[in-house]
Structure 1
């Protein structure tokens, strides 16, 4: 099955990944949805405007062979790849660093950073080899790629690292018509960020309920970036709830 616009979305079973799949499908994209929860992936597929243009692949971004298979299946099914959205990510419990286990730190690193590396590597291989050459990668960064919350060392460290990956990918891909964007999201209403609305620790020691925004705005932004011509790059894009404490945080 050939298509002029083909995307892979990791972490597509819920939240930002799901909203992005809906927005891209509405814009006419064919999409491979990738995540660990198969039933949730099927739910995402059913929500898309054109479910017949959706391929579901179950797997984990930390599994190297699984990631290779994801990209192979996508090209085998759709004929090419135009967009990778590295969206899969997790956080660690908000505890002081001396209480954090190495296992938990490595788990966050493996999903947020190593997973981004593995998927980027496989996408770049395809982008360089296909005709016409090139493609676009969007990395899900975070407000925390710039300013941390209290007790978030693993998440903050990995998101700073993803920013470095974003810049390196853009630089190294330039002559191959490969571009890369980082979207930095603040307080989108997803299950991962649900606690922010109830109250979250601030730098001054207070626990404050924060304003949230509809996650579909993020999905629509992903679709906009994806629709840009290949000679246009948005290096970093910030989208956040207007009244969330980021500017002046701390």
Structure 2
């Protein structure tokens, strides 16, 4: 981790859970972390918890709004310099049946779980390329639902968003190879969303 000391990382969905833990861990290792979420008070509390070499800057915004998403990365470049690490962690789960076709829930999940991920990748890569960051790293936090779909009632639409992340991550990897880029892409699987759905059934 020493090579990332002093570099800038953007972590979405950082006000709680996995995102919060990632943001804090990176800051403890010496990175300057931009913790992104909609809950300002939680971000302030998170920033105060850092005891290591780095620091956390809370950034309050809604990354499902593309203008706010662009403003986030403009703020990072203006105040902290280029993005070196992006952790796409923000996501939401809404139990809903495919057959009911509740498009409001579909849009909420796709807007955050897929479209916002794509927008953050776009802006982070642009920042890395503008500044010659050839050792950048993009991490997409995914779910086991992004592979063979779990047989959990109400999870299919959510699982489809995570399948999208699986395919998009693979596609991004191939594109970077074609471009002869040294920027790395990683996908990390988590199980908590599966247990969330199980809890909804009890």
Q: State whether TM-score is above 0.5.
A: yes
Q: Which residue of 1 aligns with 2:36?
A: 34
Separation (CA, whole Å) in 1 of partners of 2:195 and 2:125: 31
1:176 and 2:178 are equivalent in the alignment: no
SS of match in other structure, 2:86: strand
Cα deviation, residue 160, structure 1: 0.4
For each residue in 1:129-177, what CA deviation from the matched residue of structure 2 results, as whole angstroms up to 9, or x when unmatched?
1134341100011010113232212210010000111112222223222
1:57 and 2:59 are equivalent in the alignment: yes
Cα deviation, residue 40, structure 1: 1.2
Q: Which residue of 1 aligns with 2:82?
A: 80
Q: Which residue of 2 aligns with 1:167?
A: 170
Change in CA separation of 1:38 and 1:72 when aligned onto 2, cut-off 3 Å: same
Q: Which residue of 2 aligns with 1:101?
A: 102
* 1:123-202 mapped onto 2 (5 Å cutoff): 123-149=124-150, 150=152, 151-174=154-177, 175-187=180-192, 196=198, 199=199, 201=201
Separation (CA, whole Å) in 2 of partners of 1:52 and 1:127: 20
Q: Which residue of 2 aligns with 1:231?
A: none
Separation (CA, whole Å) in 2 of partners of 1:47 and 1:193: 28
SS of match in other structure, 2:35: strand
Contact 2:94 2:109 in 1 (8 A): yes
1:13 and 2:29 are equivalent in the alignment: no
Separation (CA, whole Å) in 2 of partners of 1:200 and 1:68: 35
SS of match in other structure, 2:189: strand
Contact 1:169 1:179 in 2 (8 A): no
Cα deviation, residue 106, structure 1: 1.1
For each residue in 1:62-97, what CA deviation from the matched residue of structure 2 results, as whole angstroms up to 9, or x when unmatched?
11111111111112222221100000000112x432
Runs of 4+ residues over 6 Å off in structure 1: none
Separation (CA, whole Å) in 1 of partners of 2:196 and 2:200: 10
Cα deviation, residue 51, structure 1: 8.9
SS of match in other structure, 2:48: helix
Which residues of structure 2 form unaligned runs of 5+?
A: none
Contact 2:30 2:53 in 1 (8 A): no
* 1:205-244 mapped onto 2 (5 Å cutoff): none
Cα deviation, residue 195, structure 1: 6.7
Cα RMSD, aligned residues only: 2.2
* TM-score normalized by the length of structure 1: 0.71
* TM-score normalized by the length of structure 2: 0.87
Separation (CA, whole Å) in 2 of partners of 1:103 and 1:167: 28
Separation (CA, whole Å) in 2 of partners of 1:48 and 1:80: 22
